[in-house]
Structure 1
């Protein structure tokens, strides 16, 4: 990978590790739906001129059925569920739980008959889900289990979204898909946002929503497209294994969240499991899931 590619890779690894911190700050004062609405609306407004200039928007809207499905499972559902989950869970815990997305994608694709498991992938799945069990079993209180369920549902949505891209929207410009999805997501949130709008917002909470939209959505997707062009889709998706580490470090350093035994045991198991569970075997018996080469807003 070139020097430019490495710069893009490192920048995106950090940027997509930050949302969990910002969401945690924002939902302390703002309803999660309003946070998601602000993020999608500002992000859409920033990307619209770029997408229109590239003539990427019309092809996306022509495929409105899979586009709507992608929007619901990749943006509307996950961003709302994740926001609600982070009113109960630490940003570090949420970030580590999201790291199971590649494993869920591998399971879904196998069940659909599009993939198969070899020894390495089965070992990866076992390690990854053992890491989640350690994290939940050692760190999560019983009354926080619904929040864990919300993050798991978010992870399922993040796993399904790229599969829809690969199967139904593969010929559509990625910039058009993301921009059109943000527009649709904003419109779907819009009828409910006025009823949940806060009376006043601190600079920290409001700034977090703006940062989510500007840096973790609009800027991040533009960098992701540049990274794919520079390094290819396979290498670009390796950021999936670095984002959780960034989320954990930021949670501990900035929000003073505890570094628990569950995190210490679960984090390396989840990451190692994800790498093994989605990698190709030496004989090529496993192929990486299509979702690994699509778009995922796993943030």
Structure 2
């Protein structure tokens, strides 16, 4: 991965390590529908004017079919499912489940006929990453309900396939334009359900309101713009390896901001996750061109 790719990768890993905590705080006082609507409305309000100003809205709408599919798989479905699931699942378990995204992305890429090989080194890196997260967060399945786990599994499918659509069907659509349209559409979809619940947000604590604002500005508008750039820089499979780092960031934020203990699991799991990310994001070596002798031998 290039230096620029690593900068984008690490920046997005930090930003998208925060939503687990923010969503958990918000859904404690606000319904999942309101959380998704507020997040998308804020993000669209920031990105859509810039898209219109740059004259990128109409060109983006020419690709409305794949853009709509991306919207459903990346935002409209997953964000509601994730907010609903976190009403009962712990942030640790949710982060561990979402860490399966790179595997689902590799399978989706294989089914879609992507040319890049999934080498043994990259598979080893993904395996080390999953082991690291398991050590870091622990498999606390006690009391976990089946339906929220299945909801997160659907989130994994959406997160794994949406970047592939961007990479293959939306190569000429600027990231900010695609993000702004997707956010606006999702906000419109949930508006009839969220607007009658505005009293929830009005009566929420300052912590919940700040969580919603941060979700909309930093974790949605800014993060999605960076995510599109990262996809085009390193490819959809490698970009999704950020899901290995996100739970790590979430735990470190808890230690730093909430004074949670720095456990042995964190000390052992964090290096495993980082090593796994390095291996899983390595570029495959190009297949060697056949020699003239080999071509002649095959012709005979």
Tell me the TM-score normalized by structure 1.
0.77
For residues 160 and 130 of structure 2, what CA distance do their matches in structure 1 show? 15
Cα separation, partners in 2 of 1:112 and 1:9, compared to 1, 3 Å = closer
**Are 1:181 and 2:148 matched, yes or no?**
no
**Are 1:284 and 2:278 matched, yes or no?**
no
CA contact (8 A) 1:9 1:239 kept: yes
For residues 220 and 138 of structure 2, what CA distance do their matches in structure 1 show? 32
Which structure would you say has the larger Rg?
2
For residues 66 and 234 of structure 1, what CA distance do their matches in structure 2 show? 21
Aligned to 2:120: 119
CA contact (8 A) 1:139 1:260 kept: no
Residue 25 of structure 1, CA deviation:
0.5
Residue 105 of structure 1, CA deviation:
0.7
Cα separation, partners in 2 of 1:196 and 1:261, compared to 1, 3 Å = farther
Aligned to 1:46: 46
Cα separation, partners in 2 of 1:265 and 1:155, compared to 1, 3 Å = farther
Cα separation, partners in 2 of 1:93 and 1:196, compared to 1, 3 Å = same
Cα separation, partners in 2 of 1:138 and 1:27, compared to 1, 3 Å = same
Aligned to 1:60: 60
For residues 136 and 153 of structure 2, what CA distance do their matches in structure 1 show? 13
Aligned to 2:150: 149
Identify unmatched segments of 5+ residues in structure 2: 288-300
The 5-angstrom pairing of residues 108-257 of structure 1 reads: 108-115=108-115, 116-128=117-129, 138-199=139-200, 200-222=203-225, 233-234=233-234, 237=239, 241-255=244-258
CA contact (8 A) 2:38 2:212 kept: yes
Residue 40 of structure 1, CA deviation:
0.2
Residue 207 of structure 1, CA deviation:
1.6
Aligned to 2:291: none
Greater mean deviation of Cα atoms: 192-201 or 25-34: 192-201
CA contact (8 A) 1:138 1:261 kept: no
Greater mean deviation of Cα atoms: 28-37 or 210-219: 210-219
Cα RMSD of the aligned pairs, angstroms, is: 3.5
Greater mean deviation of Cα atoms: 198-207 or 253-262: 253-262
Cα separation, partners in 2 of 1:135 and 1:220, compared to 1, 3 Å = closer
Residue 21 of structure 1, CA deviation:
1.2
Greater mean deviation of Cα atoms: 269-278 or 104-113: 269-278
Identify unmatched segments of 5+ residues in structure 1: 286-299
Aligned to 1:32: 32
Cα separation, partners in 2 of 1:124 and 1:117, compared to 1, 3 Å = same
Per-residue CA deviations over 1:173-202 (Å, capped at 9, x if unaligned) read: 111111110011111111222355454211
The 5-angstrom pairing of residues 255-266 of structure 1 reads: 255=258
**Are 1:75 and 2:78 matched, yes or no?**
no
